[in-house]
Amino acid sequence: MYNIFDNMIMGFQVATSWENLLFCFIGVLIGTLIGVLPGIGPTTGIAILIPVTFGMSATTAIITMAGVYYGAMYGGSTTSILINLPGESASVVTMLDGYQMAKKGRPGPALGMAALSSFIAGTFSIIMLTLLAPPLAGYAVSFGPPEYFCLTFMGLTLVSALGGDNPLKAYISSVLGLLISCIGIDAISGVSRFTYDNMNLLDGVGFIGMAIGLFAVAEILENMEAPIKQVFSDAKLGFLSLFPNKQDWKDSFGAIWRGSFLGFFIGILPGSGATLCSFIAYAVEKKLSKHPEKFGTGVIEGVAAPEGANNAAAGGGMVPLLTLGIPSGGATAVMLGALMIHGLRPGPMLFTTNPEFVWGLIASMYIGNVLLVILNMPLIGIWVQLLKVPYKVLMPLILTIAATGIFATDNNIFDMWIMFFFGVVGYLMRKLGFPEAPMVLALVLGRMVEMSLRQSLTISHGSLSIFFTRPISGVIMTVALISLFSPLFPILWRKYKGRRSVA
Amino acid sequence: MKTLSRLSVLFLVVLFVAIGAGNALAAGPYPTKPITMIIHAGAGGGSDIFARTLSAAFDKEKLLPQPIIVENKPGGSGAIAFAYVAGKKKDPYYLLTAVTSFMTTPLMGITPVGLKDFTPIANFAFDEYMLMVNPKSKYKSVKEIVADAKANPKKITVGGTQLGSSDSVCAYLIEKAAGVQFNFIVFNGGGEVNAALLGGHIDIAVSNPGEALELFKAGKVKLLGVFSDKRLPGAPDVPTLKEQGVDVTYQQNRGLVAPADIPADAKKTLEEAFAKYMKTDTFKKYLADNMLSAAWMDGETFGKWLDKENARYAVIVKDMGLIKKK
């Protein structure tokens, strides 16, 4: 075994060179801004940075890029909470309660909790990375297609947790999302489905465009009905009101840890991504809560759990990248590509051949997380001033920035039309009382569920037993089925008791 | 309010610098403004690394008086980028990365544009492909795989990316040459295929060295055969498929094309600059790092090569059942 203590000292020596410190700061700063900007997520942000990193050493380059990645997880929550506009996809679920908190005059505590939960979860995942990265490499590849299917299927059973008070409407909304997820080229057969010969639909409906449409654009449309008034007129913006109070901490404590744990361990799995982690953390929190009915009305756990999860996922995503050279998602794939341009090829031997690179990066992540909290806490005071802007000014600004961000992601104007289309859809859904969140989750999960189901059944030649005979998938599948049928248990229990008392 | 407008201005500035807006207009010999190289795939992949390495070398060595700017237009197996560049007819300020999908995507009927809409400019290298297994696998050679596949048709699982991609063609070529059938499992990308192989979820994977070299060096995967004509200098102990009795060779090209009907002098300028690029240390290091083979072709040769390969792929794609039925 390697000596972690010595390695960390070496890592901090690398990370605290003035150059690496400076670029760590620049990285997290750009990351925060990219997170705040809607549409542009960490993947695009890092891709834009690639040419800039050419002049740097590989270590400085990865420190900068990683800073952008986890920095974006901090920044993403800002616009989600303040104006119902997701900064990046992993912050979509933060809107559900974060925006309600802002509307109720508590934008400060929501933003503060998002930043502090991010810090705690981020630090937790770096500690796990420091102590356990090489042993966890085996865990990262232990998930095959059947395990992914069970995991994503379990995610779908949590849909009801994302809806409002009408489970039926939540399920209808998620089925619509699943249908939308079928649009595009089918990777397995090469057939294009529901594209109507429109080339822009070949890759399916963009998740972030749809989310921005359903939430932000629909919100604006709804606010336009009445004579435009100040939505946040009663927001308390005094200095002390910006921080979470004692009760907030008490409510969020469990959520942060569960979010950190789920985010890290699901985030390690290649192909999962921070977005999925944030959804699952939120849904689990609601399922475990003593007052699930309050979720969606502005409870602070609903902010703490997903924000913790997406930061922990950013740390978890580093595990397969550093130990196997396998990216866990879009952002880490771009980082891997950038490192290859530098001539450095991450792989299983990275820890032994380039220790200063690995430990320098890990040490820089501790530093970056502290920098982010220092950077973000004062910024909250500035961000909340945004709410003083008259809504009639804010509204067109939101639309412009959202449209620009969406366009810049893939340089494709079609994505902007997707956003406006789903803005109208979202507006109609609101009028009819259908929740938007299940539709968005179904779009994220739909492709994964379909792909892994078909992969599994191809491997097993059509036999469903593959989901039950393998230990990990068997356990997850059982949990998923319990979660799906849990409403039936009390009924069965009553029957059983009735029978016993008779006997 | 002031803070806000300042911030939004900052955002827009960052954005515009980032997407490289701003076209200089000037007269003079080509090129008088930056050339845009469209990458048909996302950031971080093989084509992206190829294009960005090239762009960086042009900047450093001043191979052209104007820079080459890269822009990713991923989607639809390249269809979106192909259509975009095809629409720039006669404009010599656009280049497009062209690999296998440049031929297979039009053949599969995903896009109406095809070879006729482009001017071949140059080919730079060939990607080699290799067959690999988990070190714990019972297979020690390609011969054993073929024998087992004959005894158990459709039982051996082969992981790869979407049908029509290079790795799926590789698997198909073995099936055809050896008269066997595999169970081909499609994944979202090379990284996921490697993860599935390491976890023992699939029996075999087809991969290019760029994605699997480090795993091989660390002993996490075992190479059973390479698809090239001769053994690769980076892995001299691994026999070719031909040596093992499976008469299959496969390479993926890495080339660049421009829109149709660009001026002849512009084409010549580009060809000359790229021929110089082939001689730079950057390119040599790129080849060695990714275990590619240098394969220079000028526009004309590349065009003929594309025609020939296109005919070959037309048969393969049809055989694989990927032609869109109308």
Whether residue B31 is preceded by a cis peptide bond, meaning omega within 30 degrees of 0, is yes
Q: Average pLDDT, whole number, for chain B?
A: 88
Same domain as B122, residue B27: yes
Same domain as B232, residue B216: yes
pLDDT at position A71 is 92
Residue B191's closest chain A neighbor by CA? A326
B108, B186, B289 member nearest A188 (Cβ)? B186
Q: Which of B88, B124, B65 is nearest to B269 (CA)?
A: B65
pLDDT at position B24 is 38
Same domain as B208, residue B177: yes
User: pLDDT band for position B25 (50/70/90)?
Assistant: very low
pLDDT at position A329 is 82
pLDDT at position A226 is 74
Inter-chain contact B43–A397, Cβ cutoff 8 Å?
no
**Does residue A194 sit within a domain?**
yes
**Does residue B163 sit within a domain?**
yes
Inter-chain contact B196–A141, Cβ cutoff 8 Å?
yes
Same domain as B39, residue B178: no
**Cβ(A76)–Cβ(A122) under 8 Å?**
no
Same domain as B142, residue B33: no
pLDDT at position B262 is 96
Q: Mean pLDDT lowest for which of B20-24, B178-182, B200-204?
A: B20-24
Place of tokens 């960390």: A8
Share of chain B above pLDDT 90, in %: 66
Inter-chain contact A459–B157, Cβ cutoff 8 Å?
yes
pLDDT at position B22 is 40
Same domain as B153, residue B99: no
**Cβ(B42)–Cβ(B74) under 8 Å?**
yes
A335, A386, A459 member nearest B183 (Cβ)? A459
Residue A139's closest chain B neighbor by CA? B199
Interior angle at CA B280, CA B265 and CA A344, nearest 5: 130
Domain count, chain A: 1
The more confident residue out of A146 and A392 is: A146
Q: Please tell me the distance from the alpha carbon of residue A37 to that of residue B11, in angstroms, as a whole number.
A: 8
User: Can you tell me the mean pLDDT for B212-218?
Assistant: 88
Closest Cα of chain B to A191: distance in Å? 7
Span A31-48, pLDDT tens digits: 999 988 887 889 888 988
A185, A326, A343 member nearest B191 (Cβ)? A326
Same domain as B202, residue B134: yes
pLDDT at position A483 is 78
**Cβ(A285)–Cβ(A258) under 8 Å?**
yes
pLDDT at position A388 is 81
Using the predicted structure, report yes or no on whether residue A165 has a pLDDT greater than 80: no
**Cβ(A63)–Cβ(A356) under 8 Å?**
no
Q: Which domain holds residue B261?
A: 20-127+253-319
Using the predicted structure, report yes or no on whether residue A204 has a pLDDT greater than 70: yes
Residue B196's closest chain A neighbor by CA? A144
Span B118-132, pLDDT tens digits: 999 999 999 999 999
SS3 at position A315: helix
Same domain as B286, residue B244: no
Inter-chain contact A346–B15, Cβ cutoff 8 Å?
no
HEC string for A214-271: HHHHHHHHHHHHCCCCCCCCCCCCCCHHHCCCHHHHHHHHHHHHHHHHHHHHHHCCCC
We report the CATH number of the domain holding residue B270 as: 3.40.190.150
**Does residue B11 sit within a domain?**
no
**Cβ(A27)–Cβ(A68) under 8 Å?**
yes
Q: Please tell me the distance from the alpha carbon of residue A267 to that of residue A315, in angstroms, as a whole number.
A: 8
**Does residue A233 sit within a domain?**
no
State the best of A29, A194, A199 to mutate against chain B, taking most chain B CBs within 10 Å.
Answer: A199
**Does residue A234 sit within a domain?**
no
Span A348-358, pLDDT tens digits: 989 888 999 99
State the best of B38, B54, B214 to mutate against chain A, taking most chain A CBs within 10 Å.
Answer: B214
Same domain as B171, residue B105: no
User: Can you tell me the mean pLDDT for A204-217?
Assistant: 92
Using the predicted structure, report yes or no on whether residue B39 has a pLDDT greater than 90: yes
Span A118-147, pLDDT tens digits: 999 999 999 999 999 888 999 999 999 999
Inter-chain contact A459–B185, Cβ cutoff 8 Å?
yes
Inter-chain contact B72–A410, Cβ cutoff 8 Å?
yes
**Does residue A327 sit within a domain?**
yes
DSSP classification of residue B239: P
Last residue of a domain, one of B249, B267, B293: B249
Burial category of B176 from C-beta neighbours within 10 Å (exposed 0-12, middle 13-18, buried 19 and up) = middle
Span A406-435, pLDDT tens digits: 888 777 899 999 999 999 999 999 999 999
Inter-chain contact B56–A401, Cβ cutoff 8 Å?
no
Checking ipTM against 0.90, whether it exceeds it is no
Q: Mean pLDDT lowest for which of A18-22, A318-322, A341-345, B79-83?
A: A341-345
Q: Which of A59, A67, A64 is nearest to A14 (CA)?
A: A59
Same domain as B143, residue B114: no
Last residue of a domain, one of B190, B225, B249: B249
Residues 6 or more apart in contact with residue B57 via CB below 8 angstroms: B63, B277, B280, B282, B283
| Sign (positive or negative) of CA dihedral B276, B257, B296, B239 | positive
**Does residue B218 sit within a domain?**
yes
User: Can you tell me the mean pLDDT for A486-494?
Assistant: 76
Q: Which domain holds residue A459?
A: 4-228+244-502
**Does residue B203 sit within a domain?**
yes
Same domain as B296, residue B228: no
Last residue of a domain, one of B249, B266, B288: B249
DSSP classification of residue B116: G
DSSP classification of residue A213: I
**Does residue B4 sit within a domain?**
no
pLDDT at position A293 is 87
Span A218-270, pLDDT tens digits: 999 988 887 666 666 555 566 667 788 899 999 999 999 999 999 999 999 98
**Cβ(B227)–Cβ(B170) under 8 Å?**
yes
CA A226 to mean position of chain CA atoms: 33
Counting Cα atoms < 13 Å in the Cβ hemisphere of B206 gives 30
We report the CATH number of the domain holding residue B217 as: 3.40.190.10
A202, A330, A386 member nearest B110 (Cβ)? A202
User: pLDDT band for position B326 (50/70/90)?
Assistant: very low
Neighbouring CB atoms inside 10 A of A211's CB total 30
Domain count, chain B: 2
CB pairs under 8 A between A and B: 186
Share of chain A above pLDDT 90, in %: 54
Span B289-323, pLDDT tens digits: 888 999 999 999 999 999 999 999 999 988 887 76
Same domain as B190, residue B111: no
Q: Which of A99, A71, A80, A73 is nearest to A307 (CA)?
A: A73
Q: Which of A35, A41, A60, A61 is nearest to A118 (CA)?
A: A35
**Does residue A237 sit within a domain?**
no
Using the predicted structure, report yes or no on whether residue A22 has a pLDDT greater than 90: yes
B1, B185, B200 member nearest A389 (Cβ)? B1
The more confident residue out of A20 and A5 is: A20
pLDDT at position A51 is 82
**Does residue B30 sit within a domain?**
yes
Q: Mean pLDDT lowest for which of A64-78, A238-252, A370-384, B79-93?
A: A238-252
CA B197 to mean position of chain CA atoms: 22
B56, B199, B217 member nearest A141 (Cβ)? B199
**Does residue B104 sit within a domain?**
yes
User: pLDDT band for position B20 (50/70/90)?
Assistant: very low
User: pLDDT band for position B21 (50/70/90)?
Assistant: very low
Sheet (strand B130-133) strand order: B183-186, B157-160, B204-207, B130-133, B222-226
**Does residue B304 sit within a domain?**
yes
